[in-house]
Amino acid sequence: MYRTKIAGIGMYVPEKEVSNEWLTQYMDTTNEWIVERTGIETRRYADKHKETTSTLGAKAALKAIDDAGISKEDIDFIIFATLSPDYYFPGCGVLLQRELGITHGEAGALDIRNQCSGFLYGLSVADQFIKSGMYKNILLVGAEMHSMGLDFSTEGRNVSVIFGDGAGAVILQPTENENEGILTTKLHSDGTHAEELAMINPGSHGGYHLHEVDFGFPDEDLPGEIFVTQHMLDAGMMYPNMNGQLVFKNAVVKFPEVIMEALIEVGASPSDIDMLIPHQANLRISQFVQRKLGLRDDQVFNNIQKYGNTTAASVPIALCEALKEGKIKSGDLVCLAVFGSGFTWGSALIRW
């Protein structure tokens, strides 16, 4: 049986840097409020006329392919994680494939919808495919273009100040070296609070989960008229919503829990972690997790200050920067951990 190793990594963030100050022209907020509550100082926004989630992903993918020393044609499977896809369907996997020009039909493309946990869910799926010997070069991408779908009015400020655009990608390959690769992945979910961090429109729900909310659906049962209503557009119901405090309370419990679960399985403890890459949800969440596990500053990597929360892209972007900055070396125990909408959460331990 093989192990799975990260053979190449790449990231791409759009050129346009957006400061907290810039946001104040659209909404009632301040640089101080954002920095104090989230740690975020700037984020990047893509050019909506020239870039899409899949093109951001393709740029990161090309760097990962180059880093792995393979050619695009070697890729035998694609996994794309995002919550901000180019289209409702088809998913970004095939669009990325087209963008890369590898439309020979030999590589399958799978789309993952697990929001902030998407990259880790993708990593776990890829790990199973590689270990079983099914694929040899899997391209896993996490990419987001949040800036196209945020409410920049004061009403949407608790959500819109947090998110940024970007992409990260890895190439996963089999290795027979027992001293490297993915040691374990842990995945969890609980749909109890599904609507507390969500973008529910447009969707097929027809009001089913939220009876008391007026979505403007017609009383008569007319097929095809309920997907998007004028009322939803007029009332600004097409944006993501977040119960920040509930997310915070759950995240600070689940992050340490799922990290400990992975550590216990491999017979390790928090002090054995050389680098923890937490999903960059909020700097305060990462700091809370660090304290709870008793980790030193040099055992945790954060870059949310520069990029905001890039959801499915945040872990590969942070991992890529930690590597570039020489903070991870061969033989290190690297822990990835995520929590997000669903709620979904997970962790991975990798011997580098």
Select from 40, 70, 100, 162 the one that contacts ligand ACO (CB under 6 A): 162
Give the tokens for residue 161.
């100040």
Q: With binding defined as CB under 6 A, does residue 247 bind ligand ACO?
A: yes
Instruction: Establish if 248 lies at the interface with ligand ACO (CB under 6 A).
Output: yes
Amino acid at 29: T
Give the span between the Cα atoms of 242 and 211, in whole angstroms.
19
Distance of CA 167 to CAs 150, 209, 223, 282, Å? 18, 32, 38, 18
Q: Out of 97, 158, 290, 303, which residue is the one contacting ligand ACO (CB under 6 A)? A: 158
Which H or E run includes 79? strand 77-81
157, 254, 306, 351: residue in contact with ligand ACO (rule CB under 6 A): 157
Task: Check residue 340 for interaction with ligand ACO (CB under 6 A).
Answer: yes
- Considering only the stretches 79-87, 154-162, 266-274, 322-330, report the one whose residues sit in contact with ligand ACO under the rule CB under 6 A: 154-162
Which of 17, 35, 37, 268 contacts ligand ACO by CB under 6 A? 37
CB of 148 to ligand ACO, least distance (A): 17
By the rule CB under 6 A, 251 interacts with ligand ACO: yes
The pair of three-digit structure tokens given for residue 83, joined into one six-digit string: 């919550």
User: Which one of the listed residues 20, 279, 302, 320 is annotated catalytic?
Assistant: 279
For the question of residue 116 being annotated catalytic, the response is yes
Answer yes or no whether residue 285 interacts with ligand ACO by CB under 6 A.
Answer: yes
Residue number with the shortest CB distance to ligand ACO? 244
Nearer to ligand ACO, 60 or 161 (CB): 161
Rounded Cα distance, 280 and 118, in Å? 13
Can you list the alpha helix ranges (DSSP code H) found in the chain?
A: 20-23, 31-38, 53-68, 92-100, 118-131, 157-160, 230-234, 244-265, 283-293, 304-307, 314-324
Closer to ligand ACO at the Cβ: 10 or 240? Answer: 240
Distance CA 214, CA 196 (A): 17
> Tokens in use for 58?
């393709």
Among residues 92, 116, 320, 335, which one is catalytic?
116
Active site residue 279: yes
C-alpha 128: how far from its chain's center? 20
Q: How far apart are CA 277 and CA 318, in angstroms?
A: 7
Query: Which of residues 5 and 254 has its CB atom nearest to ligand ACO in the complex?
Result: 254
Minimal distance in Å, beta carbon 120 to ligand ACO? 12
Told to check if 186 binds ligand ACO by CB under 6 A, we report: no
Q: Minimal distance in Å, beta carbon 157 to ligand ACO?
A: 4
Given the residues 20, 137, 158, 309, select the one marked as catalytic.
309
- Residue identified by tokens 């100050």 is 21
Query: What number of chain residues touch ligand ACO (CB under 6 A)?
Result: 24
Give strand pairing partners of 150: none
Instruction: Tell me the C-alpha distance between 10 and 208, whole Å.
Output: 41
Nearest to 187 by CA among 344, 10, 314, 78: 344
Catalytic residues: 116, 279, 309
Q: Which residues make up the interface to ligand ACO (CB under 6 A)?
A: 29, 33-34, 37-38, 116, 157-158, 161-162, 197, 242, 244-245, 247-248, 251, 281-282, 284-285, 309, 339-340
